Amino acid sequence: MSAQQFLADFHHVATIGATPANGVDRQAATDEDRQTRDWFTQFATARGWHVRVDGIGNMFALLEWRPGAPYVLIGSHLDSQPLGGRFDGAYGVIAALHAAEKVERLVAAAGVGQTVPPYNLAVVNWFNEEGGRFAPSIMGSSVFAGLMDEDEMLQVQDLAGTTVAEALERIGYRGQDERPQVAGYAEIHIEQGRILEREGLDLGAVDFSWYTQKLDIEVLGEQSHTGATAMSDRHDALVAASKVVVLVHEVTRKFEDEALVSSVGHLTLEPNSPIVVARRVHLVADLRSASPEIVAEARASLLESIEGVAREHDLTIHVNDFDVRPIQHYPEDGIVLVEKVAADLGLGVRRIRTMAGHDSVAMNRIVPTVMMFIPSAGGVSHCEREFTSDQDMVSGLSALTEVTWELVNGALDDGRKGIAERAMAMEG
């Protein structure tokens, strides 16, 4: 039975790079990432599907029933955060493989005189969605969508100085294959929030992605002796940076509950010696909201309060905007399609926004894209205790299978034309 086989595969992949506390550690282009890639290849080739690997390490398993026609892509990513969860990304890829298998059977079972679907199908495993080892995140799909430059991304280094190009070479997944021509994209992912759980629903039809932006912050103080330097003579970069971290955390309180999320996840100090007052701290703040105005207001408030910290400690703080990702709306007909499929399957569904970035956000820039969520227990993710029940995963697989069938049969063709027209209008 296919649901059983899907669950067996899912729980098998969760053993690759497994951590003692039930998570996985499979950062991009590590040996653990290679093992899941090998598993993906084996799954596809065992079914006679041809696997292509492009220059940035994206993998495509191709199901071609109409030679020369473009492909509907379905998938997600098999890489994880360090000590990440086993559902984030992997669920979407494994569900896509099983959805593809089912759709292939449906195509093969079509009666005499029925034509095969107008679009071919490919399952994709995007490279480096997480960005924990190589920043920025959502790298493979962004290169695919033309939003990031491939050569530039290949030169990105991890903390040990290894480039993306070298790391991909090392695991044998720096490909040279042509990218498939793409007609549409669908992805299913855990929610990473607790709205579905709270409302007892099975499925989310993602309507838009939150506005997100990062601030690159550099605090330049003066190195001095922790023991011998008088407190009044210090310009302690870490004390100032700590106040910035707290400000970034507390700025959310200026707005309604959960209207804004913000945090600092990355911070390094120099020289980082127990008996030396730090001269330099570098940190990255992450601001996200459904409202660009709220992000703008929070950013302005932070700039002002950070300037106050710099004055108070008589040091310099540079703040630069980067990685600004505007709100992206998913096509309305895709959302309606998910609602229809859910109704057909008897699943509870609601429209939902995504606060996290996803490969589908990049793909939505170039083709009609459908994004679905299944529940996350407690809303936790990017950690080992991330959890979704087998039942929720199987319900999601059914929804993805139906959506995929509709997409290869041209369900979003109007939207595709719409995107083509928008692209032409932008060029014009």
Between residue 275 and residue 334, which ones bind a copy of itself under the rule CB under 8 A? 275-279, 284, 286, 288
CA 241 from centroid of its chain's CA atoms: 28
What residues from 231 to 250 belong to the interface with a copy of itself (CB under 8 A)? 231-234, 236, 238-239, 241-243, 245-246, 249
Strand pairing class (71-76; 182-190)? parallel
Residue 236 Cβ vs a copy of itself, minimum distance, rounded to whole Å? 6
Query: What residue type is assigned to position 49 of the chain?
Result: W
Residues 152-181 that bind a copy of itself (CB under 8 A): none
Write out the E strands in 77-146: 120-125
Q: Give, in order, the Cα–Cα distances in Å from 416 to each of 50, 200, 337.
A: 26, 33, 14
Angle at alpha carbon of residue 90, lines to 89 and 91, rounded to 5°: 90
Whether residue 392 contacts residue 203, with contact meaning beta carbons closer than 8 Å, is answered with no
Q: Which is nearer to a copy of itself, 146 or 378 (CB)?
A: 378
Subset of 63-102 contacting a copy of itself (CB under 8 A): 81-84
d(CA 362, CA 328): 9
Tell me which residues in 127-146 interact with a copy of itself (CB under 8 A): 130-132, 135, 137
Are 362 and 142 in contact by the 8 Å Cβ rule? The answer is: yes
Residue 424 CB: number of other CB atoms within 10 A?
A: 9
Total residues contacting a copy of itself by CB under 8 A comes to 74
Q: Which of residues 343-382 bind a copy of itself (CB under 8 A)?
A: 354-357, 378-382
Q: Is 391 in the site for a copy of itself (CB under 8 A)?
A: no
Question: Which of 88, 90, 86, 87 has its CA nearest to residue 98?
Answer: 90
Q: Which is nearer to a copy of itself, 82 or 118 (CB)?
A: 82
Residue nearer to a copy of itself on the CB measure, 48 or 274: 274
Contact pick of 256, 257, 293, 427 for a copy of itself (by CB under 8 A): 257
Give the shortest CB-231-to-a copy of itself separation in angstroms.
5
Minimum separation from the CB atom of position 323 to a copy of itself (A): 8
Write the CA distances from 427 to 226, 359, 416, 421, 422, integer angstroms. 58, 24, 17, 10, 9
Query: Smallest distance, Å, CB 358 to a copy of itself?
Result: 10
- Min dist CB 426 to a copy of itself, Å, is 27
Tokens, residue 203:
């499925």
CB atoms within 10 A of CB 50: 13
Judged by CB, which is closer to a copy of itself: 57, or 193? 193
Only one of the segments 31-39, 112-120, 170-178, 188-196 lies at the binding site for a copy of itself (rule: CB under 8 A); that segment is 188-196
Return the residue of 193, 331, 375, 415 that touches a copy of itself, per CB under 8 A. 193
Q: Out of 2, 157, 162, 224, which residue is the one contacting a copy of itself (CB under 8 A)? A: 224
**Binding residue (CB under 8 A) for a copy of itself from 214, 341, 375, 411:** 214
Q: How far is the CB of 366 from a copy of itself (least distance, A)?
A: 22
**Beta carbon of residue 253, minimum distance to a copy of itself (angstroms, whole number):** 9
Closest listed residue to residue 416, CA positions, set 370, 352, 357: 370
- Nearest in space to 207 (alpha carbons), one of 410, 347, 369, 324: 369
CA distance 342 to 235: 59
Q: Which stretch binds a copy of itself (CB under 8 A): 40-48, 163-171, 271-279, 361-369?
A: 271-279
Give me 249's structure tokens: 């955390």
